[in-house]
Homo-oligomer: A and B are copies of this chain.
Amino acid sequence: MLKPNSSNRLQLYDLAGAQPQRRFSPYCWRTKLALAHKSLAFDTIPWRFTDKDAIAFSGQGRVPVLVDGDRIVFDSWTIATYLEDAYPARPSLFRGDGGRTATRFINTWADTVVSGGISRLIITDILGVLDEKDRSYFRETREKRFGATLEAVVADRQARVAGFRQSLEPLRAVLAMQPYLGGEAPLYADYIVFGCFQWARCASPFQLLLTDDPVWAWRNRLLCAFDGLAQKALGFPV
A92 at the interface (CB under 8 A from B): yes
8 A Cβ contacts from A22-71 to B: none
Contact A105 B178 (CB under 8 A): no
Could you say which of B113, B169, B174, B187 contacts A98, with CB atoms under 8 Å apart? B187
A87 at the interface (CB under 8 A from B): no
Contact B101 A178 (CB under 8 A): yes
Q: How many copies does the complex hold?
A: 2
1/0 contact string of A87-118 vs chain B (CB within 8 Å): 00000101111111111111011011100000
1/0 contact string of A184-195 vs chain B (CB within 8 Å): 000101000000
Asked, given contacts A95-B96, A95-B97, A96-B95, whether A102 binds B173 with beta carbons under 8 Å apart, the answer is no
Separation of A123 and B92 alpha carbons in the complex (Å) = 43
Contact B102 A189 (CB under 8 A): yes
A176 (CB) vs chain B CBs: closest residue: B108
CB distance from A135 to the nearest CB of B (A): 29
Could you say which of B94, B96, B112, B171 contacts A105, with CB atoms under 8 Å apart? B171
Contact B173 A101 (CB under 8 A): no
Separation of A111 and B187 alpha carbons in the complex (Å) = 23
A113 (CB) vs chain B CBs: closest residue: B170
Separation of A171 and B112 alpha carbons in the complex (Å) = 10
